[in-house]
Structure 1
């Protein structure tokens, strides 16, 4: 029986840079403003930090990264002041096979 082929999605330098920039923007807004969020701010900050750390690894765990970044995107998508950072994150996530609304 042949081995099934699984599509591998890589994390090239451009995608890594775009994700890092988006997370840096999100972190700066979260830390420096008093905005209302649908989830506790501390939890979103923690997810952003975990995503930043994962991106720094030589071989990031893409499954973990997808989960973290999807959660971050879902948490900030309705916050008007975070729209530019959300759009950057949304665009970069398409390269990981994730489509945010």
Structure 2
């Protein structure tokens, strides 16, 4: 704590280097999910959700995939979206993520 020279009590100083975003980010996670241990090829998936950081995004994506009945998932890429996608189903999934949903898009 730093002392304020004009007062007789300590004044807390807050760091001015906070790099955390004010709003949670919208993440897209790309990978393959498997419905059972005999599912060799799996299904390609994109998961879209809001989270404060990538670790939380991965954890919430895996939980959502498990709730949907997936046995295992290989998550290959993670990134953030700054604007609404142009095409469906990603545009709807992005809107769902903004509203707090975890959207799972399946291909194949």
TM range (shorter): under 0.3
Query: Which has the larger helix fraction?
Result: 1
Query: Which is greater in Rg?
Result: 2
Query: Which has the larger strand fraction?
Result: 2
The TM-score normalised by the length of structure 2 is: 0.26
